[in-house]
Amino acid sequence: MTNLEWFERARAVIPGGVDSPVRSFSSVGGVPYTVVSGSGAYVTDVEGTRYLDFVQSYGASLLGHAHPSVVEAIREAAHAGTTFGAPTPGEVRLAEMLVARVRGLEQVRFVSSGTEAAMSAVRLARGATGRNRVVKFDGCYHGHSDGLLVAGGSGVAQLGLPGSAGVTAGAVADTVVAPYNAVPRLDESVAAVIVEPVAANMNLVAPAAGFLAGLRAECDRVGALLIYDEVITGFRLGVGGAQAYYGVAPDLWCFGKVIGGGLPVGAFGGSAELLGYLAPNGPVYQAGTLSGNPLAMAAGARVLELVGADDYAGLATRVEHFAAHLEQAIGASGLVARVPRVGPLAGLFLSREEFAAPTNFAEARALAENGLYAPFFHAMLRRGVALAPGAYEILFVGLAHGEPELDLALEAAAGAAAEVAATLA
């Protein structure tokens, strides 16, 4: 069966044929490839076509697909039973690993997705402070819980939705949206400020110098809590996350993606004092049948065991070279590319004219909507390189992308850019 046949079959029984909207290709057009397997930096679709993959499950995969050691950890865990509804050693071990790596993180609770992590962190912040309002930033994505589904990046932005139908005005009445990279003035009604310390759902927008420190100071001034949503940056930016990278600590952290080693997971945490507000010790309720799932714990722990500071440093160096060469490769066509990078994180913005790297969602959106990404995406795909099917996602370069893979991507990018530029001329 072809990709088209699978997609048609999917559309009959799954809305839009997908379980997460970005996967549908609706923002780039065409038919999505249906994946049957992945290995390292590559995925293979139902037609047998192999792609060099820069999606990597939107960042869940740091070591590449089906890493043998991670697969082995999952296999061992599965043999011992997949879920019990009782405490297991695996969740304790992974919690200890997170706490050991992130300074100030004393306790974490595991959930099954980044959405749950952010939703629960906000509930905890409200419960602990006795305040209602939450400040989020335009273009930052914190999952699809009602209260945070306003002015989100990623798929929400791609579909051009301000938020979502089905989210009541009441549900977002206490959510205040501010532009990224400008420290908002807070008052004592604010329970928490939630931020992606490096914005990675409006393509990549780095925090301006002083932004995170400014948020920290403003939160302290009014007694609000600062929440880092590190669902992408956690254990991808480096061992200690954004705090280690920027030297500014939040009160609460959200994790997901990398810490599940490719299985469904999320976690939120902070000081033991704050986490003491959670049930069963405190009044803030939060729970999950599959929370701390043994398979996810085993996979996540194996990834963290395998990845050390040297790996992040090496990856950041590789990404730095790749980014510079990618700008050149695309630039040779007459198009202009900006590949903003923060450590191992890299983005991609295209334009017909010179431009500065965006600093907020309005600037990112103007570039994302200029019509260049979709043809470039398809020109890359035809050359066997899979970028994310949307201009608001970043390039997920991971530890499975070696020099040969990055060289291949550069060659494809030069050809793809030339092809796109020729159609504009």
Ligand X SMILES: *Cc1c(COP(=O)(O)O)cnc(C)c1O
Active centre residues (catalytic)? 141, 229, 257
CB atoms within 10 A of CB 305: 13
CB atoms within 10 A of CB 237: 25
CA 141, CA 25: separation in Å to the nearest integer? 19
Cβ 232 to ligand X, closest distance in Å?
4
Cβ nearer to ligand X, comparing 109 with 378: 109
Cβ 49 to ligand X, closest distance in Å?
26
Cβ 144 to ligand X, closest distance in Å?
7
The pairing of beta strand 190-195 with beta strand 225-229: parallel
Q: Which residues contact 254 (CB under 8 A, 6 or more apart)?
A: 114, 117, 118, 121, 142, 227, 228, 229, 230, 231, 234, 266, 267, 268
Give the DSSP H/E element, type plus range, for residue 340: none
Cβ nearer to ligand X, comparing 65 with 142: 142
Cβ 112 to ligand X, closest distance in Å?
8
Cβ nearer to ligand X, comparing 143 with 163: 143
Cα 293 from chain centroid? 21
Cβ nearer to ligand X, comparing 114 with 343: 114
Nearest C-alpha neighbor of 343 from the set 217, 210, 197? 197
Cβ nearer to ligand X, comparing 141 with 373: 141
Closest residue to ligand X: CB criterion: 114
Site of interaction with ligand X (CB under 6 A): 113-115, 118, 141-143, 196, 201, 229, 231-232, 256, 266
Phi then psi for 199, rounded to 5 degrees? -75, 120
Cβ nearer to ligand X, comparing 73 with 296: 296
Q: Which ranges of 3-113 would DSSP assign to H, the alpha helix?
A: 3-13, 68-79, 89-101
Cβ 50 to ligand X, closest distance in Å?
26
Cβ 90 to ligand X, closest distance in Å?
19
CA distances from 242 to 106, 189, 206 (A): 16, 27, 11
Phi then psi for 147, rounded to 5 degrees? -65, -20
